Amino acid sequence: MTTLPSATGKKLGLVIDLDTCVGCHACVISCKGWNTENYGAPLSDQDAYGSNPSGTFLNRVHSYEVQPAEGHAQLIHFPKSCLHCEDAPCVTVCPTGASYKRVEDGIVLVNESDCIGCGLCAWACPYGAREMDMEEKVMKKCTLCVDRIYNENLPEVDRTPTCVRTCPAGARHFGDLGDPDSDVSRLVAERGGVDLMPEQGTKPVNKYLPPRPKDTLPEIDVLAPFLEPVAQEPTGFLAWLDKALEKL
């Protein structure tokens, strides 16, 4: 059913910390691995060993250079997957009902057996979160590992999206963003988490924690408190040393 639920029980989503993401692509490949073997069709690769390799990925890590008015340019690694929007335009445009937002947790999914592969949902998504699989000809997208997060065959600690489980730097967090007391909601509040392209009106559930201010170490002059010389010359230094050793 492609009309959106008026409210969802939970708002499960990811919080991505741009201050910590080192751009290692662990989440990208872990996602590829899990989702090739699990939910729906495998994520295929075309011309896999050839001149123009290209495959389906549900999560990709971009990188941006930002040049502040003053100071050094900064490089920011930027993972991006489905944001599981509250007002998900990809759902409402779907002509078959294959694309839907789950009532209980807000996860946006594609029911592959209903997908006609028209691609309109991908057109409607501003974030590039949906990719048509060229082998299976159906639309693939992040499932928030719906087949992990409730999976009773997994130990409880592993009932989390594979990208979150694998992230070495701990830059990805998973939880209920509809619950203001959840860890993820607190993190968003504390660190000023933001929506991507808010003007698109999609109300993304996933939030991004902005990088902390960089290059803030103040340049100081010679007589700053921590570097005030005890002596300028070796001889003076040794005299200081003697006194300092007395005090030890």
Partner 1 sequence: MNQPKLNLSPKVSDEVRKTTCYMCACRCGINVHLKEGKVAYIEGNRDHPVNKGVLCAKGSAGIMQHNAPARLRAPLKRVGPRGSGAFEEISWDEAYQIAADWLTPIRESNPEKLAFFTGRDQSQSFTSLWAQAFGTPNYAAHGGFCSVNMAAAGIYTMGGAFWEFGQPDWDHTKLFMLFGVAEDHDSNPIKMGIGKIKGRGARVIGVNPIRTGYNAVADDWVGITPGTDGLFILSMIHCLMQAGRIDLHYLAQYTDAPVLVNGDEKSPEFGLYLRDEDGKQLVMDRVTKKLTPYDQPGVKPDLSATHRAKGVTHRPVFHKMAEMYLSEDYAPEAVAERCGLPANRIRAIASELARVAFEEAFELDHKWTDFRGETHDTMIGRPVSFHAMRGISAHANGFQTCRALHVLQIILGTVEVPGGFRFKPPYPKPATAHPRPHVGMTAGAPLNGPHLGFVHGPEDLALKEDGTPARIDKAFTWENPMSSHGLMHMVISNAHAGDPYKIDTLFMYMANMSWNSSMNTGGVMQMLTDKDENGEYVIPHIIYSDAYSSEMVAYADLILPDTTYLERHDCISLLDRPICEADAAADAIRWPVVEPDRNVKGFQSALCDLGAKLGLPGFVNEDGSQKYADYADYITNHERRPGIGPLAGWRMGESGLQSGRGAPNAGQIDNYIANGGFFAEHIPEGANYYKPWNRAYQDWAVKLGLYDSPQPYLFSLYVEPMRKFQLAAEGHGDRQPPEHLRARIKATMSPLPIWYETDQQGNEGFTINALTQRPMAMYHSWGSQNAWLRQLHGHNPLYLPTKLMRLHDLSDGDWARVTSPHGEITVPVMEMAALNENTVWTWNAIGKRKGAWALDKDAPEATRGFLLNHLIHELLPPKGDGLRWANSDPITGQAAWFDLKVRIEKTDAPRESRPEYPPIESPVPQAPDNLAWKVGK
Partner 2 sequence: MHPAPSVIAFSTFSGLGFGLLFWLGFGVPAVSGWSAFAFFTIAYLLAVGGLISSTFHLGHPERALKAFTQWRSSWLSREGVCAVAALIVMAVHGAGLVFFDASWQPVGMLGALLSLGTVFTTAMIYTQLKTVPRWNLPLTPVYFLSLSLAGGALLAGQITWGIVLLIAAGAVQAATWLLGDKAFKQSGTDIASATQLGNIGQVRAFEPPHTGTNYLLREFVFQIGRKHAQKLRVIAMSLMIVLPVILLLLPFNHLLAALAVLAHVAGVLTSRWLFFAEAEHVVGLYYGKR
Is the CB of 128 or the CB of 170 nearer to partner 1? 170
Distance CA 95, CA 100 (A): 11
DSSP string across 70-117: SS--EEEEEEEE----TT-HHHHT-SSS-EEE-TTT--EEE-GGG---
> Rg of the Cα trace of the chain?
25
| Contact call for residue 87 and partner 2 (CB under 8 A) | no
In the range 168-227, which residues lie near partner 2 by CB under 8 A? Answer: 194-201, 208, 210-211
Is the CB of 114 or the CB of 200 nearer to partner 1? 114
Distance CA 31, CA 143 (A): 10
| Contact call for residue 92 and partner 2 (CB under 8 A) | yes
Is the CB of 126 or the CB of 186 nearer to partner 2? 126
Candidates 152, 94, 147; CA nearest to 125 is: 94
Return the one option of partner 2, partner 1, none that residue 123 interacts with (CB less than 5 to 8 A, by type).
partner 2
Least separation, in Å, of the C-beta of 138 and partner 2?
6
| Contact call for residue 74 and partner 2 (CB under 8 A) | yes
Distance CA 143, CA 35 (A): 9
Beta bridge partners of 55: 45
Q: Are 129 and 139 spatial neighbours (Cβ–Cβ below 8 Å)?
A: no
Return the one option of partner 2, partner 1, none that residue 241 interacts with (CB less than 5 to 8 A, by type).
partner 1
Return the one option of partner 1, partner 2, none that residue 12 interacts with (CB less than 5 to 8 A, by type).
none
Return the one option of partner 2, partner 1, none that residue 103 interacts with (CB less than 5 to 8 A, by type).
partner 1
Least separation, in Å, of the C-beta of 233 and partner 2?
45
Is the CB of 201 or the CB of 229 nearer to partner 2? 201
Least separation, in Å, of the C-beta of 139 and partner 1?
15
Distance CA 185, CA 13 (A): 10
Q: Give 142: exposed, middle or buried? Use CB within 10 Å, 0-12, 13-18, 19+.
A: buried
Candidates 184, 191, 210, 177; CA nearest to 78 is: 210
In the range 10-49, which residues lie near partner 2 by CB under 8 A? Answer: 18, 28
Q: Amino acid identity of 37?
A: E
Q: How many of the chain's residues bind partner 2 (CB under 8 A)?
A: 68
Return the one option of partner 1, partner 2, none that residue 68 interacts with (CB less than 5 to 8 A, by type).
partner 2
Return the one option of partner 2, partner 1, none that residue 119 interacts with (CB less than 5 to 8 A, by type).
partner 2
Return the one option of partner 1, partner 2, none that residue 80 interacts with (CB less than 5 to 8 A, by type).
partner 2
Structure tokens of 202? 């999609």
